[in-house]
Amino acid sequence: APPEILMLRPMHTVVAEGLGARHTLHRLDTAADPEALLAEVAPRIRGLAVGAQTPVDAALMDRLPNLEIIANFGVGYDTVDARAAAARGIVVTNTPDVLTDEVADLTLGLLLATLRRIPQAERYLRAGRWPEAPFPLSPSLRGRRIGILGLGRIGQAIARRLEGFGVAIAYHGRSRQADVPYAYHPTLLGLAEAVHVLIVVAPGGPETAGLIDAAVLRALGPEGVLINVARGSLVDEAALAAALREGTIQAAGLDVFAKEPHVPAELIGLDNAVLLPHVGSASHHTRAAMGQLVVDNLLSWFEGRGPLTPVAETPWRAVAGTS
Ligand code: 8YV
């Protein structure tokens, strides 16, 4: 019998189309009675296709005794308890690489929008205010030092783009990286003190929760700008709103929030914040590529060729011809 796969919530059409052909796909999102469907199919489910909206915790894994693989749509997989999966011998995959350039592009767009106040300028024009007076002068990227928290695949793609803008680049992460020409700071506080812009692109989850706190924002200083394209959980949002309101930092550009899709009203009320609805990877091109990688991980697994992009917590031996 074809392997049975469960989808909890709506996902990109590429996922359902790609899986439907060779697998039996059960969809809780379109089921009349999701709980009844889950109870019926749970013992037969061997694969799970998930997006960031649904946490996959140990309790769910325990309801699926024959689960072999969890394929996550997204490079970040903080909503999947990967350690619990590892303990049960379940492989977790994510979607690295295919979204790197897209997210890096968006980050540069958000950085420039925040500094040069592009959305505010556009609102000014649409409000008919241009004839009254020119739009007020904005802060600038010129002469700034940029700090990157998390110099992984996406962080490095952002840094490569920033090189073209002629700005100094520094970074902080768990360890210094060989072969990168950027200044390493062993502490986040040290990095925040040394730069004017802090770009957050580190993984979410308990280990990084609340890293950007009041002390880091104070260190960033009155000309400081915070850009977050990672996870809202890394930032103390109340401290950030206070820092923006009181001029502790100059501005912030945020693509992610702690309780998406809820955005604190306090942030929405601030003119020095540029706020986006988590669109870092959200182009037709890149979302299709991410969906295809979810499908390809599952196809590869059920053809006995191993996962294509397993996460660090559930490593897999390299399979000849696939790496
Ligand atoms: C996801 C993301 O598409 O990849 C990630 O980590 O945040 C986005 O690209 C988003 O989580 C939707 O599931």
Q: Ligand 1 centre and the CA of 73: distance in Å?
A: 7
Q: Per-domain residue ranges for the chain?
A: 4-98+285-302, 100-275
Q: Ligand 1 centre and the CA of 53: distance in Å?
A: 9
Question: Which pLDDT band holds residue 20 (cuts at 50, 70, 90)?
Answer: confident
- Let me know the angle formed at the C-alpha of 199 by 277 and 163, rounded to the nearest 5 degrees: 115
Q: Ligand 1 centre and the CA of 131: distance in Å?
A: 41
Q: For 87-113, write each residue's pLDDT tens digit.
A: 999 999 999 999 999 999 999 999 999
Q: Ligand 1 centre and the CA of 51: distance in Å?
A: 8
Average pLDDT over residues 147-156: 98
Which tokens go with 204?
């979410």
CB 271 within 8 A of CB 120: yes
Average pLDDT over residues 54-80: 97
For ligand 1, mutation pick of 8, 11, 50, 73 (most atoms within 8 Å of CB): 73
Give the model's pLDDT for residue 207: 95
CATH of domain 100-275: 3.40.50.720
Name the nearest CA neighbour of 228 among 178, 278, 286. 278
Name the nearest CA neighbour of 278 among 18, 121, 99, 15. 99
Question: Which pLDDT band holds residue 318 (cuts at 50, 70, 90)?
Answer: low
For ligand 1, mutation pick of 50, 53, 75, 254 (most atoms within 8 Å of CB): 75
Q: For ligand 1, atom 5, which residue shows the shortest CA distance?
A: 74
Average pLDDT over residues 205-228: 98
Instruction: Give the Cα separation of 286 and 198 in Å (integer).
Output: 25
Residue 281 Cβ inside 6 Å of ligand 1? The answer reads yes
Residue 75 Cβ inside 6 Å of ligand 1? The answer reads yes
Helix (H) or strand (E) holding 11: none
Question: Which pLDDT band holds residue 317 (cuts at 50, 70, 90)?
Answer: confident
Name the nearest CA neighbour of 88 among 130, 111, 50, 59. 59
Which residues are 254's β-sheet partners? Answer: 228, 275
Which tokens go with 114?
């925040």
Instruction: Give the Cα separation of 34 and 238 in Å (integer).
Output: 37
Give the model's pLDDT for residue 128: 98
Domain made up of 4-98+285-302: CATH architecture? 3-Layer(aba) Sandwich (3.40)
For ligand 1, mutation pick of 93, 228, 256, 281 (most atoms within 8 Å of CB): 281
User: Of all residues in the chain, what percent carry a pLDDT higher than 70?
Assistant: 98
In terms of phi and psi (left: phi > 0; alpha: psi -120 to 50; beta: otherwise), the region of 74 is: left
Q: Ligand 1 centre and the CA of 77: distance in Å?
A: 8
Q: Average per-residue pLDDT in the chain?
A: 96
Q: How far is CA 69 from the centre of its chain?
A: 21
Instruction: Give the Cα separation of 65 and 8 in Å (integer).
Output: 17
Average pLDDT over residues 242-267: 98
Which tokens go with 207?
């280990």
Residue 51 Cβ inside 6 Å of ligand 1? The answer reads yes
Which tokens go with 2?
């074809």
Instruction: Give the Cα separation of 294 and 46 in Å (integer).
Output: 15
Catalytic residue among 9, 22, 153, 278: 278
CB 153 within 8 A of CB 180: no
Cα→Cα distances 77→70, 80, 186, Å: 10, 5, 25
Average pLDDT over residues 301-323: 84
Q: Which atom of ligand 1 is found nearest the CA of 290?
A: 3
Give the model's pLDDT for residue 53: 80
Cα→Cα distances 29→61, 88, 291, Å: 18, 26, 17
Residue 99 Cβ inside 6 Å of ligand 1? The answer reads yes
Q: For ligand 1, atom 2, which residue shows the shortest CA distance?
A: 74
Catalytic residue among 12, 185, 231, 287: 231
Question: Which pLDDT band holds residue 323 (cuts at 50, 70, 90)?
Answer: very low
Say whether 100-275 and 4-98+285-302 share the same fold. Answer: yes
Instruction: Give the Cα separation of 32 and 37 in Å (integer).
Output: 8
For ligand 1, mutation pick of 278, 287, 290 (most atoms within 8 Å of CB): 278
Average pLDDT over residues 291-310: 97
Average pLDDT over residues 231-251: 98
Q: Which atom of ligand 1 is found nearest the CA of 256?
A: 7
Question: Which pLDDT band holds residue 52 (cuts at 50, 70, 90)?
Answer: confident
Name the nearest CA neighbour of 173 among 234, 222, 94. 234
pLDDT at residue 177 is higher than 80: yes
Average pLDDT over residues 163-190: 97
**Quick check: is 278 catalytic?**
yes
